[in-house]
Structure 1
């Protein structure tokens, strides 16, 4: 998962927790798409409250590969307002990123022209 997407999840963590996202099809969709393992699903379902389940899901997602954020968005069919909030925050995060300055290496550190 890209750093930008991790930041979006972190910045909206409490709001997402209040939505109890693990009810319904979210976990099953993430499992079906290979984002979560069977052990992840069992561990999440073992939590005692919806808030704890959602928080554990948010802890797991950032380490589940480059498709995790987009697949998570896809899983939120039952929560279109949450999906839109995440998309908006992601778009804002993209525009807030500073432009990367090009860096010129000293000649002695540059790679040879022919490798």
Structure 2
């Protein structure tokens, strides 16, 4: 998952937790798409409250690969207001990213490559 998407999930963590997102088809969709394993689903379902289930899902998602955020958005068919809030936060994060969030090394490499191109 991209750093920007991780930050979106982190910044909306409490709001997402309040929505009890794990009820319904969210977990099953994420399992179907290979984002969650069977063990993940069992571990999440073993939690005692909807809040704990959602928080565990939010803890697991960032480590589940580059398609996890988009699959999570797709899984939120029953929660269109949450999906829109996440999309809006993601779009704002894209426009608000300072250069440093691209990774100092990557930005420095781009500048170095540009300087080499100018010199050539």
**Normalising to structure 2: TM-score of the pair?**
0.84
Separation in 2, partners of 1:62, 1:82? 18
Note the C-alpha offset of 1:66.
0.0
Separation in 2, partners of 1:37, 1:83? 22
Separation in 1, partners of 2:68, 2:32? 12
Structure number with greater Rg is 1
Structure 2 match to 1:101: 108
User: Which runs of 5 or more structure 2 residues have no equivalent in the other structure?
Assistant: 100-106
Separation in 2, partners of 1:75, 1:107? 41
The count of residues paired between Structure 1 and Structure 2 equals 112
Separation in 1, partners of 2:68, 2:13? 16
Note the C-alpha offset of 1:101.
6.0
Note the C-alpha offset of 1:106.
11
Note the C-alpha offset of 1:12.
0.1
Separation in 1, partners of 2:88, 2:47? 30
Separation in 2, partners of 1:67, 1:87? 15
The alignment's C-alpha RMSD in Å is: 3.2
Question: What SS does structure 1 have at the residue aligned with 2:36?
Answer: coil
**Normalising to structure 1: TM-score of the pair?**
0.88
Separation in 2, partners of 1:81, 1:106? 43
Note the C-alpha offset of 1:98.
2.0
Rate the CA distance shift 1:18–1:103 in 2: closer, same or farther, 3 A.
same
Q: How big is each residue's C-alpha offset from its partner over 1:16-51, in whole Å with a ceiling of 9 and x where there is no partner?
A: 000000000000000000000000000000000000
Note the C-alpha offset of 1:56.
0.1
Rate the CA distance shift 1:12–1:106 in 2: closer, same or farther, 3 A.
closer
Q: Which structure is higher in helix share?
A: 2
